[in-house]
Structures are given as structure tokens and as C-alpha cells.
Amino acid sequence: MSNKTTTSQTYTPLHRCRKSPAIVIMVLSFLVIPACAQITAKSTLLETKKQRDERMKWWREARFGMFIHWGVYSVPAGTYRGKRIPGIGEWIMERADIPAAEYEQFAKQFNPVKFNADQWVQIAGNAGMKYIVITSKHHDGFCLWDSKVTNYDIMDASPFKRDILKELSVACKKHGIGLCFYHSIMDWHHPDAQATFYPNYNDTDRLNPKFPRYVKTYMKPQLRELITNYGPLGVLWFDGEWIKDWTEPQGRDLYNYVRSLQPDIIINNRIGKGRKSMQGLTKEGYFAGDFGTPEQQIPATGLPDVDWETCMTMNNTWGFKSYDHNWKSTEDLLRKLVDIASKGGNFLLNVGPNAEGLIPQPSVERLAAMGEWMAKNSESIYGTTASPFEKLPWGRCTAKSGKLYLHVFDWPKDGELKVSLPRHDVQKAYLLARKDRADLLIDSDESGNLVVTVPRKTPDTIDTVVVLEMEAEPAVTPQGKDGTVVLKANNAVVRGTNARYESGGGKDNIGYWTNPDDYVTWRFNVTKAGTFNAEVTFACAAGMSGSKYVLTVGGQELAGTVKDTGGWTSFVTEKIGTVKFSSPGTYNLSVKPKTMPRGAVMNLKSVTLVPIRK
């Protein structure tokens, strides 16, 4: 999604390291004063990529959240006047054509005395979820908090008279879970909104001329209450934006309004008109909103530089229905989480508590089972980025700097896990769930690709995570003032099993080079192009000489032969040829053995590129 609004301020629900309000006020006034008295659409352009990355950071790292659909629809629970109403439970008012006055009777019966905010938040936390998104108000218009602008809320219209959102905000703070609100723009109860469309509340062709008044005097004040009395919030998750009354300019205005109340808040793409139907990703062009919202589906592939979150039910409904028992299995749900993470997305998994205030037992059980897996394997989910592989025959992959997490759904029967990755790029492999992180044997197949020897018995039938530790990004050596590039042994990336850097006692070189498959590489910058002499500084003891090697750089190859220098610490420098760089840039240079007749290659101290002056 494109560049959006105002200032940056880090919202970190888990660490609470917010910048001081003074800084925010300073930045805000800087943005606002020159133009006009309030934050305008213009200021949305002032967020840099870095500021946006800062704002999105906690959300991108979290990867897994809980959606909670709860409201007075949990009272009918899918049945109206003795009839089972097809479709999603929270839509019963629309599906069964219930007049607003009659639907209000459900509010009078909504008395969820078993509601325990701590318990809900703990169920989420124990599952490994980092944030909850609860329906502050769904399409039916009933408000779960103490709103001053309506009586159609938990305090005034129900016998419960406990501020549900307040209790959840306290519990979330206590347990380090991010608090987020779902909020419906569409409202079937408000006379200035869609209530007048009865019996077709979801009529997408009609307009209510009073709708702007609803936005100004009802929706915006309510959002101000939610942000200022219950915040700071992680996300505001809008929905019901498809109505004809709602436009993209209104969406942008609302986006700016919400961000002006809490600059670091994150907002989904349903605040405006950018959503591509249930696929949920944002259309091309500029639309308000920070992330895409695929509903009940997972995109086929990851999307570079796009933030998105799949929301999904565990059975077939969001709001509680007493007779919906079509539960997805734990295996299915966990693999969906992994699939989503492997494509760079978040998973917002729904629960629909009942009218007593309890999360249905089948949901509780599945979340507990997911939590057991997460307790051992969450490192392979949190803070990861999308898989570098297009497709893997046995499962999925997630990535973090220096590590690949192989999620094996189909365990290899022959105990050999094959990965299309050069074996030399991998330094270590182990099972994530094993506390001792014991090394798994790594080898290569005939084309040099990685083969990991794994236990015959499947460790985890749902998903076993094999961690590959990879070479960290190599350092880049700069070109010296006189144009010389000195590539020293201690800066080299050594790939292979035996060769390594050694120092002390006259040594400062790559040694133990007893495997001819091992090789070394450097990355370096060329700022002044030209032709260079390539000089190799090395040592080799008598009787061990004769190895041949190739030095490769910028598509050019130079051949060298290791001669006897009189000892392993008697270094000599030999020019092996010239190389040409026609343009400045970053280059790779490698030294790879071709033959090793005597059991060792050489002690390699440095490769120096010396410019040839004309």
C-alpha cells in the first residue's frame, strides 16, 4: 500500500516504548501550522517509508491475532422465531428481516455473566496470539462500550451494565496483548444510516440523505471515545464500507481523523473503497488504509511489500450460532497460520463467544493445541518474512536474517529432506522443537543441493520445523584511496566444512583447507573502475603444493597453482593475472580449488587488486 499519513510514533503493545507526547505534539504542530488548523489529506503524504515501517513494526512481527465477534446476536444464536436462519450469525437481523425495535429485545436479554476478560485474553495469549480485534460495534449497531452518544449500548440497553471494552483493555494491558477494535461503518440501527432501509438493510443502491450527519455526530464521536478512552489501540479494523453512502474521500477524511487522534494507529483498507471484494487486497492506485483484508481466504502467493491479514472463522460463522459444529481441525488451522506466514501475511482467527460470555469449547481446545505448537515453534512465525522459495513439495518456509525455517508438513519417509539450496550456503541444521538443538547431518546431492538427514519417525505430524542457519550477509570491503582493494582472510566468507580463518603464531589466514569443496568469497566495492593486477598472498609447506584453484570476479576467471613457499607461515605474494572492472559497483570475488593432490589447498592470507596506472 502507498505512503500514508502524518507522523510516526511507535506503538509497541508488548514493550510500551512510546515516544514522549511532547515529541508527537511538536511534530504534529510542525505539520499542521503552515497549512491549516487541522490535519488534511496533504499531511498523509508526509510519512516516509521509514516512519511507516516503524508504525507497522509490531503488527508485522506479531503475525497471529484473535478476532472476536460478539454482540447481542449471540442471544438468538442463529435461530429466530423457532427457525434456523441460514448464513453468518451476526447477520441475523438482516437475514431474518428483523425490525430494529424487535431486535432491541435481544439487547435486553444480553446478560453474559460468565464473561471474564482476563480469561479471554489469556486464551489468546496462550495460543500465541499477540493482539485481539473485538467488535466494538457490528452492522447491527449495538455498542459494547459505554458510549456517551447513544443509549444503544451495553450500559443503557442491556442488563449487564459492564463496559466490556474497558474490561478487555485492562486485561490486554495486564497480559501484554495488543487491543484493537473492529468497527462497522454500516449501521442497521441508526435512523441516519441504514435502519431506514428495512427490510433490506444491506441495500447497496440506496442512499440515506442524512448519512453525513450520522458520520459527523455519531460515528466520529464514537471513534474518538474508543481511541481516547480505551487506547492506545493497535488497529482500527473497519468494515461495512461497501454501502453506497460511503465514498473514498470520506474514507480518507476518516483515516486522517483517526490518525490525528492516535498518530501511530494502524487502519485496515476497509476504511475506504480500495478493497477488492472478499479477496481483500487493495486495488491499484491511491486508497486509504494500511493493510489488505482477505476474508475467509489466503492469497495464492505472497506479495512483495504489501501488508495483509487473512481473517477467518473456525467454523462457518463469525457471531455465535448454537448449531454450527463445522469446526476446522487444529492441523488445518496451524497449517493455515504457517501458509500465511510463509506468504508474508498475518492470521486473524475468529472466535464467537456465546450469550453467557464464554468462548465455545471447540475453539478453546483448538487454540490450546495451537498454543502447544507455538510454545515450541513460535520463533518460526514471529517476525519472519515470506519464503524465498516459490514452491516446496513437502511444506512451507519462513525466513529471518541468517535463518530459514523449513515447515515440513509431509515428513520424508526415507529420512532425507531435500531443499533446492546450495549446500554450501548452509552452516547448521536442527529441529526447532528440540531443546538441545542437536545438529542434523547436512550433505549435498549430485547437483550440490542440500540434503538434511532427519529422524525416520515424524517428530510433529502437523508441522515439524527444521532450522537452517545460513551465512550472514558478508561484509563489503571498500576500495582504498589509491584504488587498491585488499581482501583479507578475516573478512572472507568461508563456505564448506573444514576451511576456516586462523590467527596467531604467524598465522592470519584461511587454513585447515583440507576439503577441496570448500571455498572463500568476498564482497567489495569498486568506486574507481579500471584494470587491476590480482595478487594472491599465500603459504604452503613443502610436499603439500600443487593444488590448482580458480579466482573468479566480475565474470572473469584467473587460474592459479599453489607452490611450495617453505612452510605454512612463509607467505609469498604472487600475481596471477589481471582483471577489469568497466563500471563502479559491488563485486564478488571467490577462490575455489580445482584439484588438491596432497591433502591441503593452501594457507590463504589475502587477495589484493592493484590498479594498473596507464
DSSP string, 373-408: HHHHHGGGTTT-B--SSS-BTTEEEEEETTEEEEEE
CB nearer to ligand H79: pick between 51 and 293? 293
CB nearer to ligand H79: pick between 57 and 95? 95
Which helix or strand (DSSP H or E) is residue 221 part of?
helix 220-230
CB nearer to ligand H79: pick between 225 and 295? 295
The interface region with ligand H79, picked from 86-94, 99-107, 371-379, 407-415 by CB under 6 A, is 86-94
- Residues sharing a CB contact under 8 Å with residue 110, sequence separation 6 or more, in sequence order: 71, 72, 74, 75, 154, 158, 159, 160, 355
CA distances from 518 to 424, 444, 513 (A): 8, 13, 7
Spatial strand order in the sheet of 403-408:
395-400, 403-408, 464-470, 426-431
Report which of 271, 295, 272, 269 is spatially closest to residue 282, judged by C-alpha positions: 269
Among 20, 151, 277, 447, binds ligand H79 (CB under 6 A): 277
CB nearer to ligand H79: pick between 318 and 538? 318
Residue, CB closest to ligand H79:
242
- Least CB distance to ligand H79 at residue 195 (A): 17
> Is the CB of residue 131 less than 8 Å from the CB of residue 142?
no
CB nearer to ligand H79: pick between 204 and 217? 204
Site for ligand H79 in 180-239 (CB under 6 A): 204, 239
The interface region with ligand H79, picked from 53-61, 88-96, 368-376, 472-480 by CB under 6 A, is 88-96
- Least CB distance to ligand H79 at residue 230 (A): 20
Among 62, 88, 164, 465, binds ligand H79 (CB under 6 A): 88
Upper half-sphere CA count for residue 79 (Cβ side, 13 Å): 7
DSSP string, 329-387: PHHHHHHHHHHHHHTT-EEEEEE---TTS---HHHHHHHHHHHHHHHHHGGGTTT-B--
Rounded Cα distance, 519 and 525, in Å:
20
> Could you give the string, one character per residue 236-265, with x where binding to ligand H79 holds by CB under 6 A and - elsewhere?
---x--x-----------------------
Among 47, 54, 90, 163, binds ligand H79 (CB under 6 A): 90
Asked whether position 337 contacts ligand H79 by CB under 6 A, the answer is no
Rounded Cα distance, 263 and 283, in Å:
24
> Could you give the string, one character per residue 506-545, with x where binding to ligand H79 holds by CB under 6 A and - elsewhere?
----------------------------------------
CB nearer to ligand H79: pick between 135 and 603? 135
Which helix or strand (DSSP H or E) is residue 117 part of?
helix 117-127
Residue type at 590?
S
The interface region with ligand H79, picked from 83-91, 446-454, 578-586, 588-596 by CB under 6 A, is 83-91
> Could you give the string, one character per residue 29-68, with x where binding to ligand H79 holds by CB under 6 A and - elsewhere?
----------------------------------------
CB nearer to ligand H79: pick between 242 and 257? 242
Instruction: Render the burial of 321-347: b for 16+ CB within 10 Å, e for the rest.
Output: beebeebbebeebbbbbbbbbbbbbbb
Site for ligand H79 in 294-323 (CB under 6 A): 295, 311, 318
Point out which residues bind ligand H79 (CB under 6 A): 69, 88, 90-91, 204, 239, 242, 277-278, 295, 311, 318
